């Protein structure tokens, strides 16, 4: 049963990542990977809320597997973030590569902390 929760979440998260990335990137005429940043920050926010809900006892293990491992595991993408940063650097856009690293880490950490705080406010 556990693996079904992961698979079901991934079946939603993977196409959601693709569609979100394409939609966000289509709105920006730049080499900066806005789509990847958007999905990684959104996934971090969801994981933060899920973490807060779990600590409060409001999320079951199946919910954690479905949302955390399945959906967010397929939605967020460290490998694409790494690849895009490398490509920016190799293509001479080192400033954008550095901005991508700093903004991704700061925004994702901020999102996970905000998610935990939101969950604590709801379930505390």
Binding site per annotation, positions for Na(+): 73, 76
Question: Residues at the annotated binding site?
Answer: 73, 76
Nearest-angstrom CA–CA distance, 84 and 91: 10
CA–CA dist 101, 90 (Å, integer): 15
Helix residue spans in 27-93 (DSSP H): 34-55, 61-63, 72-75, 78-90
Q: Which of 77, 98, 73 is nearest to 35 (CA)?
A: 77
Alpha-carbon distance of 88 to 104, in angstroms, equals 14
């Amino acid at each position: 049963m556990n693996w079904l929760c992961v698979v079901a979440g991934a079946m939603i998260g993977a196409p959601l990542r693709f569609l979100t990335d394409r939609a966000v990137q289509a709105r920006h005429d730049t080499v900066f990977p806005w789509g990847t940043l958007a999905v990684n920050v959104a996934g971090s926010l969801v994981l933060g809320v899920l973490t807060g809900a779990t600590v409060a006892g409001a999320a079951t293990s199946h919910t954690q597997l479905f949302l955390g491992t399945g959906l967010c595991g397929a939605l967020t993408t460290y490998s694409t973030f790494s690849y895009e940063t490398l490509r920016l650097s190799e293509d001479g856009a080192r400033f954008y590569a550095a901005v991508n690293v700093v903004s991704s880490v700061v925004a994702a950490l901020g999102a996970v902390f905000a998610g935990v705080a939101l969950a604590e406010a709801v379930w505390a």
